[in-house]
Structure 1
Amino acid sequence: MINDDPYAAVTPAPALDVRSDDLRHGEQMPLTFRDPEIGGTNASPHLAWSGFPPETKSFAVVCYDPDAPTGVGFTHWAVANIPAEVTSLPAGAGALDGAMPAGSLTLPNDLRMRQYIGPNPPPGSGRHRYVFIVHAVDVPRLDIDPELTPVVLGFNLHFHTLARGSMTVWVDAAG
C-alpha cells in the first residue's frame, strides 16, 4: 500500500492526532466538501489536532491528493503560520472568504487559488485519496513568499516539523 503521507519518506516525524467533526478517516468525503461543479461547496472540513510537542510554535495544514494523474499529486490547500494556540479550524475556514486565524498564510494551491478547493477527480481516474496533514512547527512563522507554491512550504516544513498527523478520505472519479 502507498503511504498517504507524502512527507514521511523525506522527513520522518513523531505522530500527532488529527480528527474532524465532518470526516471519518478511511471513509468517503461528503459531497459538501467537494467541487461546486459536482454539487459541493468548496468548504474545507472541520479539523482539530492534539498530542503535539509542548515546544510547538505554530502549525501548517495541507490537503493533498496523491492519486492525481500528474506524477506528483495535487495540493488542494496549503496553510502555514497558524498560531500555536489554535488547535482547530471550523468548517469553511479555507474558503476564499473563510475565517482563518490571524497571522496564518494561505498559499496558492495547485490551481493557483489562495483557498481550499474541493475534489473533483477527472473521469476514469479511479479512486482518489485526500490527505489532510497537520504539522507541528518549531517556529512561530515560516518566512515564505505568499506567492510561492505548496512545494516551497513542504521544503520549509522539512526543516521545521516537530510532529505530524493526518486523516485520509476518498472520492471515486466519475466514469
Structure 2
Amino acid sequence: MTNPLERPQHPDPYELLPKVGSFTVTSTDVADGQPMGMDQAHPMAGGDAKNISPQLSWSGAPEGTKSYVVTCYDPDAPIPGGFWHWLLVDVPADVTELATDAGREGKALPGKSFHTRNDFGTFDFGGAAPPAGDPAHRYYFVIHAVDVESLGVDENASAAFVSFNLAFHTLARAIITPTFGG
C-alpha cells in the first residue's frame, strides 16, 4: 500500500492566479522559507503550541489601495483544496502592521475589519498543524491590497467566497511563506 503522505508538493497557489503587482511584507516572528516555531502552531500540533498569529508589517502597496485582506493558506494540506488558516477582511488602507497575536478571537481589530471562518471552523488565526509524518508544509501569509474599502462579504463567507471576491479586487500581493513540520 502506498503511504498517503508521500505525494508531490502542491504548486504555489498564487502563481496560478492572474498576475498582479507586488509589495513588501516582513515579520519579526516568521521568515520566508524558514520553519515557524510552536508559537504559530495550532494545539492539534501537540507540544507547547500557542496558536499565535505572527507580527506582520507591510509597505509599498500600490496607489488606489482602499483596504487590505490578510490571509494564511496551506496548499500542502493532504486534501485537494488546501487549508485556510486565517482570513482577516476589510483592514483599513492606513493600517500597515498587525501586532503579534492580532489574529486571536476577541482581540480588537483595526477599523471595520473582521475575521471570516477559517477551515478549523473558528473566526481567528488557526496555527499550523500538519499531519504527523507529513513533509514540511508551506504557510502563505499574504497581504492583499484591495481596490475597494469593503470586499462585500460578511463574517459567514467561506474562504472560497473571500478568495473569489479577491480575484476581482486585488491590486497587489505581499507574501511571506514560512514552513512548519516535516
TM-score (norm 2): 0.89
Residue 145 of structure 1: CA displacement?
2.9
Tell me which residue corresponds to 1:19: 26
Note if contact 2:10-2:75 (Cα within 8 Å) is conserved in structure 1. no
| SS state at 1:135 partner | strand
| SS state at 1:155 partner | helix
Note if contact 2:10-2:76 (Cα within 8 Å) is conserved in structure 1. no
| SS state at 1:94 partner | coil
- Runs (4 or more) in structure 1 with deviation over 4 Å come to none
2: distance between equivalents of 1:11 and 1:98? 34
5+ residue gaps in structure 2?
Answer: 1-8
Tell me which residue corresponds to 1:123: 132
Tell me which residue corresponds to 2:40: 33
Tell me which residue corresponds to 1:7: 14
Residue 40 of structure 1: CA displacement?
1.6
Q: Which amino acid aligns with 1:64?
A: Y
Residue 64 (1) aligns with residue 73 (2): yes
1: distance between equivalents of 2:83 and 2:167? 18
Q: Which amino acid aligns with 1:109?
A: N
Residue 170 (1) aligns with residue 153 (2): no
RMSD of equivalent CA atoms: 1.4
TM-score (norm 1): 0.93
Question: Deviations 1:17-66 (Å, cap 9, x if unpaired)?
Answer: 11101111110001111113331211100001111112100000110111
Distance 1:108 1:143, change over 3 A: same
Note if contact 1:38-1:120 (Cα within 8 Å) is conserved in structure 2. no
Determine which of 40, 43, 53 is the counterpart of 2:62. Answer: 53
- 1:140-155 matches, within 5 Å, as 140-155=149-164
1: distance between equivalents of 2:160 and 2:125? 16
Q: Between Structure 1 and Structure 2, how many residues are aligned?
A: 172
Q: Which amino acid aligns with 1:82?
A: V
| SS state at 1:116 partner | coil
Q: Which moved more, 1:84-93 or 1:30-39?
A: 30-39
Task: Specify the structure having the higher radius of gyration (Cα).
Answer: 2
Residue 84 (1) aligns with residue 93 (2): yes
Residue 124 of structure 1: CA displacement?
1.8
Note if contact 1:18-1:48 (Cα within 8 Å) is conserved in structure 2. yes
Question: Deviations 1:124-155 (Å, cap 9, x if unpaired)?
Answer: 22111111011000001111132121111110
| SS state at 1:52 partner | coil
Q: Which amino acid aligns with 1:66?
A: P
2: distance between equivalents of 1:149 and 1:11? 21
